[in-house]
Amino acid sequence: MIKDILSLCIITIVLFSCNSSRHAFSKRDIKSAEKLYGLHFSSNEIDTMYGYLERNLEGYDTLRAHKISNDVLPAIMFSPLPLQYKFPEGVNCQYVPKEISIDVPKDSILAFMTVKELASLIKTGKISSEYLTKLYISRIKKYDGTLKSVITLIEDDAIKKAQKADVEIKNGNYKGPLHGIPYGVKDLVAVEGYPTTWGAMPYKNQKIDQTATIIEKLEESGAILIAKLSSGALARGDVWWGGRTVNPWDTLQGASGSSAGPGAATSAGLVGFSIGTETLGSITSPSTQNGITGLRPTYGRISRYGVMPLSWSMDKLGPMCRSAEDCLLVFQTIAGIDPRDPTLYDVPFCYVDNSEIKDYKIGFLESLFVKDTSFSMKTTLIAIDSLKALGLQFISDSLPSNFPFQAFDIILRSEAGAFFDELVRSGNVDLMVEQNTGSRANSLRQSRFIPAVEYIQANRHRSVLIEEMNAFMGKYDAVISPTFGGDQLMITNLTGHPVITVPTGIDSKGHPTSVTFIGRLFEEDKIIRIAKYFQEMTTFDNAHPPLFGG
């Protein structure tokens, strides 16, 4: 009898071992996994689904065996357009800044001039593009050891293109206000022949055999690319594989992310302007931190071909400059349709400088301003008072609020997890510099535990948010918001609305402050106009960090 029992036990152990070797997971694993998703199934239900889950896993293995190009978008693409949306009517036109006459200043002032001012000096032959390019390159070599804002300096090619621009302009072939102006681009943007590191150690030596559409457009305008600027690793924060990009106003403080390099380099006078990207605050936040003006255009305005995806349904590119007018000059150059990016909308853009803004209806998110009692906000409110002098109608209101905002971040994290799936499964994510709870590496790992059902549900709530936000914005020509007030950044990035963030002064710690103007879809002209008038009435945008010669 005892022998029979022992034999049965041995057979059971052997069978269990065989069963365990045949299956990648047990039913007990399913019970444990339920806790991650807030679910509960009975033992009978788990028995029923067990084989299905095994087949799913086999399917995942098959899926992963098929390599896919970085350029391939999901078949289901996001649209920011509400139901029955009507595009703004009009035609394309090119804004040409008014002619100005200025003398050539000393180099420490020249480096901080606006694109409009630099363009005037270059067009009239008072300075050459080559001279300006070499000035910025010398400043990069002098200051970037402290700032850590440049990943790749493009020196020889930039000087050659500057020399070419000078010849073109001398021969009467002037292409416009960006002709001969040196600029930098966030290192998520591919430029053939140069590294595109995405700010992350696993991609430190990566070269992509393509040039992004936005670079092609700027090259056609005659602008001179001199630097690939730092991005927080895989578009998060201000820490990249070479260190932390710092704020020129306070080098003990980070430049904020993830367009840290464009923010710091533009602020410190290392480039004439720069290009950043935003998914959830990456233009607006470093623009605030570094005291510059940043425009995040409507989703679907600017081609993302050749740019690292973080979230296909949320990523946007935009200019980071020293003034709203500079943002306008860059924006009208880089916006427009591109057959290589199917997410774009062919919507005309026309900025007319003599349009009146005194009749604009301005929504004012008063409760968000009142909640913030800091000195920084008091500084901003004093600055905003200058707009009231124009007779603008300020109407107190609040953004849509009855939404599961805590859950919306899974949209970004799910899409990032999909693009960087191989990085995580290969283990190369372990090579990233930051490995703490707030790091991109950690975010990518946890993305594998977001259920597809919740991702779809979050996007359904997003559809409702789009409708409510469209109704809200329909009441106003623009809305004034604290840059980091409430859920503003989350909402406008989810719905694709454009914003421009402008400096409003310096707080008690010597750090820049800002305010944000929100626009209707595809109506960047109105918020640029308000920001431009605001800057013409104030001097906040003229302040530059003294540590770097400002």
- Predicted confidence at residue 386, as pLDDT, reads 82
pLDDT, residue 356, reads 81
Q: Per-residue pLDDT averaged across 240-246, rounded? A: 98
Is 375 within the bounds of a domain? Answer: yes
- Specify the pLDDT at position 511: 95
Over 60: is that where the pLDDT of 17 sits?
no
- Per the model's pLDDT, the better-predicted residue between 508 and 418 turns out to be 418
Residue 250 to residues 22, 246, 501, Cα–Cα distance (Å): 59, 7, 20
Question: Do residues 54 and 121 both lie within one domain?
Answer: no
Residues ≥6 apart with Cβ < 8 Å to 225: 154, 157, 158, 161, 182, 183, 184, 185, 191, 215, 218, 219
Please tell me the least confidently modeled range out of 66-75, 186-195, 368-377. Answer: 368-377
Q: What was the pLDDT predicted at 390? A: 76
Whether the per-residue pLDDT at 195 is higher than 80: the answer is: yes
Predicted TM-score (pTM) of the model is: 0.94
61 lies in the same domain as 114? no
Whether residue 265 is contained in a domain is answered as: yes
Helix pair angle (129-147, 260-267), 10° resolution: 120
Q: Is residue 89 assigned to a domain?
A: no
Is position 428 within any domain? Answer: no
State residue 358's pLDDT score.
Answer: 86
User: Are residues 247 and 333 both part of a single domain?
Assistant: yes
Average pLDDT over residues 329-334: 98
Do 358 and 245 share a structural domain?
yes
For a pLDDT cut of 90, what percent of the chain falls above it?
A: 89
- pLDDT tens for 60-77 read 999 999 999 999 999 999
CA distance 315 to 538: 32
Confidence of residue 23 (pLDDT cuts 50, 70, 90): low
In this prediction, residue 15 has a pLDDT band, given cuts at 50, 70 and 90, of very low
Q: Is the pLDDT of residue 20 over 60?
A: no
pLDDT in tens, 460-486: 999 999 999 999 999 999 999 999 999
Residue 372: predicted pLDDT: 84
Asked if the structure places residue 411 within a domain, the reply is no
> Do residues 186 and 321 share a domain?
yes
- Please list the residues that pair with 362 across neighbouring strands: 394, 478
pLDDT value at 375 more than 50: yes
Over residues 111-163, the pLDDT tens digits come to 999 999 999 999 999 999 999 999 999 999 999 999 999 999 999 999 999 99
pLDDT at 14: 37
**pLDDT at site 3:** 44
- Cα gap 229→30, rounded to integer Å: 45
The answer to whether residues 422 and 68 touch, using CB atoms and an 8 Å cutoff, is no
First to last CA, the chain: 94
As a whole number, mean pLDDT of residues 366-371 equals 91
What integer pLDDT is reported at residue 292 of this predicted model? 98
CATH number of the domain bearing residue 212: 3.90.1300.10
Count structural domains, the chain: 2
Q: Is the pLDDT of residue 380 over 80?
A: yes
Please provide the average confidence, as pLDDT, over all residues in the chain.
93
Q: Is residue 222 part of a domain?
A: yes
525 membership: H or E segment, kind and range: helix 524-537
Residues 156 and 245 occupy one common structural domain? yes
- 282 and 364 share a domain? yes
481-516 pLDDT, tens digit each: 999 999 999 999 999 999 999 999 999 899 999 999
Q: Rounded to whole angstroms, how far apart are CA atoms 205 and 281?
A: 27
- Residue 223 near residue 181, CB atoms below 8 Å: yes
CA dihedral angle for residue 352, residue 173, residue 227, residue 283, rounded to 10 degrees: 10
pLDDT tier, 395 (very low <50, low <70, confident <90, very high otherwise): very high
Percent helix, percent strand, percent coil in the chain, to nearest 5: 45, 15, 40
Q: What band does 550 get if pLDDT is binned at 50, 70 and 90?
A: confident
Structural domain range at position 473: 107-402+454-533
- How is residue 379 written in tokens? 């500084």
Residue 54 lies in a domain: yes
Residue 393 has pLDDT above 90, yes or no: no
- In this structure, are 58 and 112 located in the same domain? no
Please state, for a pLDDT cut of 70, what percent of the chain lies above it: 96
pLDDT over 50 at 5, yes or no: no
pLDDT for 379 = 78
Whether the pLDDT of residue 12 is over 70: the answer is no
Give me the residue label for tokens 């004034």: 480
At residue 28, the 3 state secondary structure works out as helix
Residue 70 lies in a domain: no
Residues 51 and 131 both lie in one domain: no
The residue among 306 and 354 whose pLDDT is bigger is: 306
Residues 212 and 305 in one domain: yes
- Distance separating alpha carbons of residues 145 and 393, to the nearest angstrom: 47
Task: Please say whether the dihedral angle defined by the alpha carbons of residues 530, 536, 540 and 543, taken in this order, is positive or negative.
Answer: positive
Q: Residue 6's pLDDT is what?
A: 39
Are 54 and 167 members of one domain?
A: no
Query: Is residue 142 domain-shared with residue 289, that is, in the same domain?
Result: yes
